């Protein structure tokens, strides 16, 4: 198999992985959490709240998280906690970097952060 064909297969697999809006949102949320500093993880409950997932659909979220974990896009830390923590893993970060998304996301995240700070200062 040619190198170009292999690369296309890899890209197809990656895009299929993040082709679901909620899986992509999870990766983007965890990246934003890294950029903003502090805790680089989100709990299962936080992910449910941010995505607005009804309690009856958390099984679907679990499935999405497991798919991302298997692909090394995210990592799960459930060290004795009822509410595991998730953070971005190497493959997820590499995906964002490979397609030049980190620079664009960094700029957008910083812009949103400045707007929030300005709003808080006015209050």
In which domain, by residue range, is 115 found? 3-122
Cα(50)–Cα(53) distance, rounded to whole angstroms? 8
Confidence of residue 90 (pLDDT cuts 50, 70, 90): very high
Which CATH number do you get for residue 94? Answer: 1.10.10.10
Contacts of 101 (CB under 8 A, 6+ apart): 95
What pLDDT does 13 receive? 85
Dihedral sign computed on CA atoms, order 18, 25, 86, 49: negative
Q: How far apart are CA 113 and CA 30, in angstroms?
A: 16
Q: What is the pLDDT of residue 116?
A: 84
pLDDT tens string 2-40: 666 668 888 888 888 889 999 999 999 999 988 887 788
Instruction: Report how many domains make up the chain.
Output: 1
Q: Which residue has the higher pLDDT, 81 or 86?
A: 86
Residue 51 tokens read as 């995505």
Q: Which two three-digit tokens encode residue 39?
A: 């805790």
Average pLDDT of the chain, as a whole number: 88
Better-scored residue on pLDDT, 2 or 46: 46
Average pLDDT over residues 93-111: 88
pTM for this entry: 0.81
C-alpha to C-alpha distance for 53 and 34, rounded to whole angstroms: 23
């Amino acid at each position: 198999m040619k190198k170009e064909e292999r690369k296309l297969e890899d890209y197809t697999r990656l895009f299929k992985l993040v082709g679901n809006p909620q899986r992509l949102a999870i990766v983007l949320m965890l990246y934003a959490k890294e950029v903003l500093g502090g805790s680089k993880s989100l709990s299962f409950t936080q992910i449910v709240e941010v995505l607005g997932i009804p309690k009856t659909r958390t099984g679907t979220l679990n499935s999405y998280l497991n798919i991302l974990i298997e692909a090394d896009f995210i990592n799960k830390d459930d060290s004795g906690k009822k509410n595991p923590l998730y953070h971005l893993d190497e493959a997820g970060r590499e995906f964002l970097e490979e397609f030049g998304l980190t620079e664009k996301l960094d700029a957008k995240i910083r812009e949103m952060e400045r707007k929030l700070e300005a709003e808080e200062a006015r209050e």
